[in-house]
Amino acid sequence: MTILPGSTIGILGSGQLGRMLAMAARQMGYRVHVYSPEQDSPAGQIADKEFAAAYTDLPTLAQFAQGVDIITYEFENVPAETAHAAAAHAPLYPGPHVLHVAQNRLREKQFCQDHGLPVTPFAPVATPADLEAALVHLGLPAILKTATSGYDGKGQVLLRSLDEARELVSSGRWAVSSPQSPVSTPQSPPSPFILEAYIPFTQEISVVAARGRDGAFAHFGAIENEHRNHILDISIAPARVATEIAEAAVDLTRRLMAALDVVGVLCVEFFVTQDRRVLINEMAPRPHNSGHLTIEACVTSQFEQQLRAVCGLPLGDTRYHRPAAMANLLGDLWVKNEPNWSSLLAIPGVKLHLYGKEQPRRGRKMGHITALAETGDAAAQLVREARGRLLTGD
């Protein structure tokens, strides 16, 4: 059944992705209900109704799900039990089976490998013995990651030697702020981790794409990403890569979405290696930070595309008006003073998006800016200049 404008969209999660999804839904004439543990959340500020309750609060979850026509989500760490419980009352896309794969790096990598999709070499780690064996097998350096819940560089550590790994085990410390130890110790039960080979890549790119209920596929091409302190800093579209590399990334995304039977938007992040191979790094079954520039740059944004896909509508036109770049605005910009918004907004062609978060913190995504220009290089230069003005006012 097609979910037409005037119906009610339910969103699990209420962060900035949910906010922009809700804004696209409201523009298209949908009503929006959001559900998360947060109150006065970024998405809740835009929604018609905000449910603030634990994901394990099944009675409130049922009330939410019974009041909407269709459900989607804005981040993949919604508990699988929550997704299944919600799906008992209203259609949910992408399906819980997609969450099951995407919520765990081991399952994600294994799924790709099982379907002939190229990934970074990896090995599961549950004990110190597993870790040493995996390091010998994969070689050094290598990256140890939590199998679940890590993002923006959290929950991972680079290991350059066996001695570093042994010291990590014996000390029980975690090199990145995390509530759990990176490996099992005699005092703690085994925890699931994944060790990945360190890939000397030349570029990181992503492909944001959508797949409809009928299997239709649409994509926004390859987007080039630059990170700072493991957090996405700048995205540039189209990516400054060879045509065959961009086409290979799009083809791998298409194959992955078909294998997973995704309905909705999914982003795949890739490493481009020195020998011009394209390897899948991670996936996210929802709109993605690197796709924010599509709001201004494309005929159809990634958020409108998510709605079209899950509602059973035709997928939208993904052509770019012009090359574009996006720069994240982190809480670091607020450390000394309120950023100089007037100076930024004096630059023609720069668009500001703030997410409605009250408390800026270092590393917290508070908003983003987008610029369009004749080339990707020019757009990237423009967003860097604009962001710099927030601090200097020049």
Is pLDDT at 93 greater than 50 in this prediction? Answer: yes
Helix (H, G, I), strand (E, B) or coil at 12: strand
Q: Two tokens at 75?
A: 């981040």
| Range 335-343 average pLDDT | 92
Tokens of 280: 């899948």
Summarize pLDDT for 168-203 with one digit per residue, the tens.
Answer: 888 765 433 343 444 444 444 444 899 999 999 999
All structural domains of the chain? 8-92 (3.40.50.20), 121-197 (3.30.1490.20), 201-392 (3.30.470.20)
Q: What percent of the chain has a predicted confidence (pLDDT) above 70?
A: 93
* Residue 153: band (very low, low, confident or very high) from pLDDT cuts 50, 70, 90: low
Beta strands in the chain (DSSP E): 8-12, 31-36, 49-52, 70-73, 122-125, 142-146, 156-159, 193-197, 201-211, 217-228, 231-237, 264-273, 278-284, 324-330, 350-354, 365-372
244-275 pLDDT tens trace: 999 999 999 999 999 999 999 999 999 999 99
Angle 186-192-193 from CA coordinates, rounded to 5°:
100
Is the Cβ–Cβ distance between 382 and 373 less than 8 Å?
yes
- Both tokens assigned to 282: 């991670």
Whole-prediction pTM: 0.93
Per residue in 4-48, pLDDT (tens digit) is: 999 999 999 999 999 999 999 999 999 999 999 999 999 999 999
Q: Rounded to the nearest 10 degrees, how much is the dihedral formed by the CA atoms of 58, 60, 65, 67?
A: 160
Confidence band, pLDDT 50/70/90 cuts, at residue 106: very high
pLDDT at 342 (0 to 100) = 95
Confidence of residue 393 (pLDDT cuts 50, 70, 90): low
Specify the amino acid at residue 135.
L
- Among residues 336, 334, 331, 329, the alpha carbon closest in space to that of 387 is found at 329
Number of H helices, E strands in the chain: 12, 16
